[in-house]
Amino acid sequence: MESVELIYKAVYILVIFGITLLIATYSTYAERKVAAFIQDRVGPNRAGPFGLMQPLADAGKMFFKEEFIPAKSNRMLFIIGPGIAMIVACMSSAVIPFGDMLIIGGREIYLQAIEVNIGMLYIFGVVSLGVYGLMIGGWASNNKFSLLGAIRAASQNISYELAMGMSIIAILMMTGSLSLREIAEQQAGFNWNIWYQPLGFIIFLTCSFAETNRTPFDLPECETELIGGYHTEYSSMKLGLYLFAEYINIFVASAVMATLYFGAYNFPFMENLREAFSDPVVGNNVVTLIGVAVMFAKIFFFIFFFMWVRWTLPRFRYDQLMKLGWQILIPLAILNILLTGGGILLFD
Amino acid sequence: MAETYTSDFGTILLFLIGSVIFVMLGLFTAKLIRPHRPNPEKLTTYESGEEPIGNAWVQFNPRFYVVALIFIIFDVELAFLFPWATVFGRRELIEATNGAWGWFSLIEMFIFIGILILGLAYAWAKGHLDWIKPKPILPQSRSGIPPDVYRQFNARQEAKREA
């Protein structure tokens, strides 16, 4: 029995890894297509039909490019930096519930790699480790641009982490649980958290843009000021790891937003649909499979939203960014906690 | 319950091992198949095409020192808020105390957060939250040693480091 369990877990891990990497790979393609669409261009269309092979060609290029490690850099930290960024990004996708349970041959299978009762805290903790990758890489390059990028990354991340944590607290006060599966189950049907936490959602959304270093908060790699920011000196696969980690982070941030605020795999009238089937097992499986599709639709919408914003909004100035974080988002997040507390006691 | 904990976090360990292997495999494969022809020109530090001046590993002003201190205080506050938030909305606790539980714990937390808000307001009023400091304040110290001595000492250290 033990070994069967272990094999199941290994399969789960491989599947989650595969999904994460596939989505991150195709996010690069989607980004270029969305950019092209917004700027009224065609976008990549040479490699394969509609340019669908483009991400593979890009990955191949990353592998075959010559790499330089600057003579004056710290070699070991230079290699560890992108490694940390990538490892942390991969680990954060472990606890996301992609669907409810499937019943196959009397066996209940939850479509989630790992269920821990502190799922949200786990993601929050692991994601905030990602900044070490940027800082170590930026410092180890021994380049002034990289160093400036690393300093910006550090102060930006700590500034936005607070407001993010406080918006999670407001959610937690409502759900009373940090387990992502439980949070998802509580939002059955159309009872999504967004209806109760609109302010919290806006804060969380803004902070996740800042934590993933996406425009309008991409100051750490701001190419017009800092060449490439923290990855100025990077080339070949190590640059690839940094870029890839960013897309995985976007995927995880989208999945977390869908789970926390938009009901994860729940969709309206799911109970009616479940009862429409005479066999409860079939009904459950059909609803679960539609739920998985709904979950991915929500995730893809948020990934699209990340790209939409990138090609629409200009970048902030650094002092504006710090001001937004400390003087607007944190007071708003505290206000949100107080409002949520009062609301729960008055109306519940 | 303890057993499930270990097995869940065991799976996370598997995840960690998996991602480390993935990263190492990627870097190693790339190392095998890519060309490697370094020369001193390629290995210089990039500085907009100029000869790099000095070293980037100097003492620098991180600028967000006070911000980082405030961050730590608030982060610890978050660590206290998480367990509070899980028990705050418990129906059975509220019912057992006729609703007093909810208001009591909420007001208690208001006071706790209020003290921290005072700290934030102080830092705000003092201008520690501004990224651009309009007037840099040089620390003044009344010391019997003339400033020239320090300057000469620093210059000597600098010369030593360069050599």
The Cβ of residue A101 has, within 10 Å, a number of other Cβ atoms equal to 16
Cis peptide before B52 (omega within 30 of 0): no
Report the half-sphere exposure of B163 (CA within 13 A, side-chain side). Answer: 6
B93 contacts A348 by C-beta, under 8 angstroms: no
- Please state the rounded mean pLDDT for residues A249-256: 90
Task: Inform me whether the pLDDT recorded for B56 exceeds 60.
Answer: yes
* Cα A171 to Cα A166, A211, B82, B86, distances in angstroms: 9, 19, 11, 10
Residue B22 distance to chain A (closest CA, Å): 8
B18 contacts A17 by C-beta, under 8 angstroms: yes
Q: Check residue B3 and give its pLDDT.
A: 45
Task: Inform me whether the pLDDT recorded for B136 exceeds 70.
Answer: no
Phi first, then psi: give them for residue A104, nearest 5 degrees. Answer: -120, 115
B3 CB burial (10 A radius; 0-12, 13-18, 19+): exposed
Question: Percent of chain B beyond pLDDT 90?
Answer: 1
A306 contacts A249 by C-beta, under 8 angstroms: no
* Cα B37 to Cα A66, A74, A77, B121, distances in angstroms: 8, 20, 22, 57
Residue B101 distance to chain A (closest CA, Å): 10
- Residues of chain A with Cβ-Cβ distance to B48 below 8 Å are 227
Q: How do the domains of chain A map onto residue ranges?
A: 71-347
The Cβ of residue A118 has, within 10 Å, a number of other Cβ atoms equal to 17
Nearest to A71 by CA among B52, B161, B35: B52
At A301-341, the pLDDT tens digits run 999 999 999 888 888 888 888 888 888 888 899 889 888 88
Does A91 sit within 8 Å of B12, measured CB to CB?
A: yes
* Cα A273 to Cα A277, A280, A294, distances in angstroms: 7, 11, 14
- Residues of chain B with Cβ-Cβ distance to A73 below 8 Å are 45
Task: Inform me whether the pLDDT recorded for B1 exceeds 50.
Answer: no
Q: Check residue B7 and give its pLDDT.
A: 63
Residue A314 distance to chain B (closest CA, Å): 20
Question: Percent of chain B beyond pLDDT 70?
Answer: 87
Does A345 sit within 8 Å of B99, measured CB to CB?
A: yes
Q: Check residue B133 and give its pLDDT.
A: 67
Phi first, then psi: give them for residue A208, nearest 5 degrees. Answer: -70, -30
List the 134-163 stretch of B: residues with Cβ below 8 A of A.
none
Does B129 sit within 8 Å of A155, measured CB to CB?
A: no
Q: Say how far apart CA B87 and CA A344 lie, in whole Å.
A: 13
A163 contacts A332 by C-beta, under 8 angstroms: yes
3-state DSSP assignment of residue A235 = coil
Q: How many CB pairs under 8 A join A and B?
A: 203
Residue B7 distance to chain A (closest CA, Å): 9
Total residue count of chain B as it appears in this document: 163
Task: Inform me whether the pLDDT recorded for B134 exceeds 70.
Answer: no
* Cα A66 to Cα A15, A33, A92, A238, B154, distances in angstroms: 32, 28, 30, 11, 41
- Please state the rounded mean pLDDT for residues A175-202: 83
Task: Average the pLDDT over each of A45-49, A182-186, B62-66 and give the range with the smallest value.
Answer: B62-66
Q: Say how far apart CA A209 and CA A160 lie, in whole Å.
A: 9
Residue A181 distance to chain B (closest CA, Å): 14
Enter the tokens of residue A96. Answer: 């996301």
Mutation pick from B5, B19, B111 vs chain A, by most beta carbons of A within 10 Å, is: B19
- Strands, E, within chain A: which ranges? 101-104, 107-110
- Residues of chain B with Cβ-Cβ distance to A327 below 8 Å are 124, 129
Q: Say how far apart CA A216 and CA A318 lie, in whole Å.
A: 11
Residues paired with residue A110 on neighbouring β-strands, in sequence order: A101
Mutation pick from B13, B27, B59 vs chain A, by most beta carbons of A within 10 Å, is: B27
At A257-286, the pLDDT tens digits run 988 888 888 888 777 777 777 777 777 788
Task: Inform me whether the pLDDT recorded for B10 exceeds 80.
Answer: no
pTM of the model: 0.85
What distance lies between CA A45 and its chain's CA centroid? 27
Mean pLDDT of chain A: 84
Does B62 sit within 8 Å of A155, measured CB to CB?
A: yes
Does B81 sit within 8 Å of A90, measured CB to CB?
A: no
Written as one string, the DSSP assignment of B39-75 is -TTTTSPPSTTSPPPS-S-S----S-HHHHHHHHHHH
Using CB atoms, which residue from B8, B35, B67 is nearest to A66? B35
A57 contacts A216 by C-beta, under 8 angstroms: no
